[in-house]
């Protein structure tokens, strides 16, 4: 009986921790194990261009982007060699899902800043 109750308690705590890990301070942005995800009103080439501009504005080094009509990516590196990557996937005609990852474990503050600035570059912030 005690063993069953303990297992149930541990399971509930684990689920609560996972659910808490999914929310961020930015509305519409989900954090899944260090990768931030949101959707923007733009096609992948537009998002890749905006992401590249944001990474350059942040003075990252070795910034690069590439895209097609169905997907894209942009990335750069911090001075401490952490990779900041933006992955883009077309969701519909003018809607793209973007995933932002900073380093191996994620950096929510920098990731949210990248997403916010991409939205500003695209003119879709606060929609």
Q: pLDDT, tens digit, for every residue of 107-127?
A: 999 999 999 999 999 998 765
Q: What's the full length of the chain, in residues?
A: 127
Task: State residue 16's pLDDT score.
Answer: 46
First to last CA, the chain: 52
Task: State residue 33's pLDDT score.
Answer: 84
Whether 117 is covered by a domain: the verdict is: yes
CATH number where 62 lies: 3.30.310
Q: How confident is the prediction for the chain on average, in pLDDT?
A: 86
* Confidence at 31, pLDDT banded by 50, 70, 90: confident
Q: What is the mean pLDDT of residues 73-99?
A: 97
Task: State residue 10's pLDDT score.
Answer: 64
Whether 43 is covered by a domain: the verdict is: yes
Q: What is the mean pLDDT of residues 7-19?
A: 53
* Confidence at 17, pLDDT banded by 50, 70, 90: very low
Scored b (16 or more CB within 10 A) or e, 39-73 reads bbebbbbbbbbbbbbbbeeeebeebebebeeebbb
- The count of domains in the chain is 1
Higher pLDDT, 47 or 13: 47
Whether 75 is covered by a domain: the verdict is: yes
Residue 92's φ and ψ, nearest 5 degrees, are -155, -170
Whether 127 is covered by a domain: the verdict is: no
Task: State residue 19's pLDDT score.
Answer: 46
Q: How far apart are CA 97 and CA 105, in angstroms?
A: 21
Whether 19 is covered by a domain: the verdict is: yes
Whether 32 is covered by a domain: the verdict is: yes
Residue 107 · residue 121 · CB < 8 Å: no
Helix (H, G, I), strand (E, B) or coil at 109: helix
Which domain, by its residues, includes 27?
2-122
Higher pLDDT, 73 or 93: 73
Residue 75 CA, chain-centre distance (Å), reads 12
């Amino acid at each position: 009986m005690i063993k069953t109750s303990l297992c149930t308690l541990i399971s509930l705590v684990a689920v609560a921790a996972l659910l808490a890990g999914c929310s961020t301070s930015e509305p519409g942005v989900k954090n899944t194990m260090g990768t931030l995800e949101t959707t923007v009103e733009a096609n992948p080439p537009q998002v890749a261009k905006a992401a590249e501009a944001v990474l350059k504005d942040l003075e990252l080094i070795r910034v690069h982007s590439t895209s097609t009509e169905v997907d894209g990516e942009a990335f750069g590196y911090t001075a401490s060699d952490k990779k900041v990557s933006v992955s883009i996937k077309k969701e519909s005609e003018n809607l793209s899902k973007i995933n932002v990852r900073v380093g191996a474990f994620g950096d929510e503050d920098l990731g949210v800043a990248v997403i916010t600035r991409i939205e500003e570059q695209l003119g879709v912030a606060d929609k």
